[in-house]
């Protein structure tokens, strides 16, 4: 099925043609291909056969790449190269004949279940399909071909990873795999701005404590907390419009409070982005409850209230104090949408 040539023979061809220093150039590869064609002679009709040309070119490119690396590792010293790579030079450079190439590149024409493409096949089927390729090609040649293909396809990052994992010490590949597993294992989900506000409120955290928590997480490789500037802007988005604050009270018009509550619910809840709710619903119904609560016994301060419309000093000092607080609030219960009904 194949004609056998020693690596040493191909090396001698390059050396006799002064191609050692440029073993991976177009001219040097053509010299090797011409020698292989001469060795095959009339064993098969090679002229113009694309399958055979592709087989030979892949084999020669792999050999040239390996030779160049070994030549550079020997500091371009012929004596050192021959001594260091004597075993490699005695290895066989198997030349696939036309029949073997056709088996590699021509699809099966047998009857039965239709064949799947290589990408659609299972791992077991893929191993079976590349069995012949592995038998006639060395691992170095396969690696070189994979890198070249990735570079041609524009996948330079993948090609660099292949180089890092195969051209250096065996520990390099283990380190790359370990880093990838740790990256997947330690994948964090950052807080959104609103989640950070809720976290601060639930834990009664001060601004300084939040800063220290954020810096500590970043120091350990988990940048999950937004900056406090973003938290501050998120807090502002929680305030309704037309807040009225006086010396003795803070209030907001009921309509503004209802509008703001519905708006924040709409922004916070997970709605389907593919639905146009403005077209889907004719109106929204918001159900809530209201109530009040108070507390007393708070600390009283001697600072007087100035904006009280009374000239009676005793009234001013006794009518309003800091000791008691009353709060009115609303609590959202349900938000429903009414679907539009046609006139018919």
pLDDT digits (tens, 9 = 90+) for 43-69: 444 555 666 677 777 778 888 888 888
Q: Give the Cα-Cα-Cα angle 139, 143, 146 (nearest 5 degrees).
A: 140
Stretch 270-285: mean pLDDT: 69
pLDDT of 299 above 80: yes
- Angle subtended by helix axes 139-152 and 50-73, to nearest 10: 110
- Per-residue pLDDT, averaged over 208-233, amounts to 92
| Confidence band for 243, pLDDT divided at 50, 70 and 90 | very high
* Tens digits of residue pLDDT in 137-156: 777 888 888 888 887 777 88
Residue of 172, 122, 142 lying closest to 66 (CA atoms): 142
Q: Which of 98, 117, 119, 95 is nearest to 108 (CA)?
A: 117
> If pLDDT is split at 50, 70 and 90, which confidence band does 324 have?
confident
Whether residue 12 has pLDDT greater than 80: yes
Give CA–CA dist 234/198, Å, rounded: 10
- pLDDT score recorded for residue 293: 93
Q: What is the DSSP letter of 272?
A: -
The neighbour count for residue 55, using CB atoms within 10 Å, is: 23
Asked if residues 32 and 63 have their Cβ atoms less than 8 Å apart, the reply is yes
The domain segmentation of the chain, as residue ranges, is 7-90, 124-186, 193-238, 244-301+321-339
Instruction: For residue 121, give Cα distances in angstroms to 91, 130, 143, 341, 344.
Output: 34, 12, 22, 51, 55
Q: What would the pLDDT profile of 65-112 be if each residue is shown by its tens digit?
A: 888 888 888 888 888 888 888 888 888 877 655 444 444 444 555 555
Residue 220 — very low, low, confident or very high, per pLDDT cuts 50/70/90? Answer: confident
What are the tokens at 330? 């609303």
> What are residue 289's DSSP bridge partners?
331
pLDDT recorded at residue 2: 46
What lies within 8 Å, CB to CB, of 339 at 6+ separation is: 280, 281, 282
Q: Is 162 exposed, middle or buried (0-12, 13-18, 19+ CB in 10 A)?
A: middle
Residue 339: both structure tokens together:
């679907």
DSSP output for 181-243 = HHHHHT---PPPHHHHHHHHHHHT--HHHHHHHHHHHHHTT---SPPHHHHHHHHHTTSPSS-
């Amino acid at each position: 099925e194949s004609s056998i040539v020693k690596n040493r023979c191909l090396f001698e061809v390059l050396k006799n043609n002064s191609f050692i220093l440029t073993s991976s150039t177009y001219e040097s590869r053509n010299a090797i291909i011409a020698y292989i064609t001469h060795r095959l002679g009339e064993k098969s009709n090679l002229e113009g056969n694309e399958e055979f040309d592709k087989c030979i070119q892949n084999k020669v490119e792999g050999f040239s790449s390996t030779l160049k690396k070994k030549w550079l590792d020997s500091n371009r010293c012929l004596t050192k190269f021959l001594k260091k790579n004597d075993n490699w030079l005695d290895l066989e450079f198997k030349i696939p004949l036309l029949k073997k190439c056709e088996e590699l590149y021509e699809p099966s024409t047998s009857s039965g279940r239709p064949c799947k493409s290589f990408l659609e096949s299972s791992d077991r089927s893929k191993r079976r399909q590349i069995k012949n390729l592995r038998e006639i090609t060395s691992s170095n040649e396969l690696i070189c071909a994979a890198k070249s293909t990735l570079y041609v396809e524009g996948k330079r990052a993948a090609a660099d990873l292949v180089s890092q994992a195969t051209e250096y010490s065996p520990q390099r590949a283990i380190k790359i795999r370990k880093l990838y597993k740790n990256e997947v294992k330690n994948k964090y989900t950052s807080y959104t701005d609103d989640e950070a506000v809720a976290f601060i409120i639930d834990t009664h955290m001060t601004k300084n404590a939040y800063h220290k928590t954020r810096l500590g997480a970043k120091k350990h490789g988990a940048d999950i907390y937004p900056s406090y500037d973003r938290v501050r802007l998120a807090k502002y988005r929680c305030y309704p419009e037309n807040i009225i604050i006086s010396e003795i009270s803070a209030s907001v018009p009921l309509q503004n409070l209802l509008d703001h509550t519905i708006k924040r619910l709409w922004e916070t809840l997970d709605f389907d982005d593919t639905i146009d709710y403005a077209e889907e619903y004719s109106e929204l119904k918001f159900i809530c409850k209201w109530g009040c609560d108070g507390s007393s016994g708070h600390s009283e301060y001697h600072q007087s209230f100035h904006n009280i419309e009374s000239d009676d000093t005793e009234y001013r000092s006794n009518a309003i104090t800091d000791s008691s607080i009353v709060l009115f609030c609303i609590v959202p219960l349900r938000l429903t949408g009414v679907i539009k009904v046609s006139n018919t």
